[in-house]
Structure 1
């Protein structure tokens, strides 16, 4: 796979709490196989760059 660009959508669930001056980061790692029907997870951290 020679893919070098991918567009993803990040859904913000609580728009009332979302601060527009905040930024998001995404870390790409090696793919992990999961069983069909299982959903991947995410981790919330307090780390950010000003």
Structure 2
């Protein structure tokens, strides 16, 4: 593999990693939203049971 081919391979790998990183950040954002909803639900449940 010559330098030009190696550079092209590295660029392609870099782009693949950037796309994967973007996808993982989207997944983290979704998990964070889900966690926030679960916490709010738990807090409402806890509040309603403490009023009884």
Same fold (TM over 0.5): no
Higher relative contact order structure (alpha carbons within 8 Å, sequence separation ≥ 6): 1
Greater CA radius of gyration, 1 or 2? Answer: 2
**TM-score, length-scaled by structure 1:** 0.18
More helix by share: 2
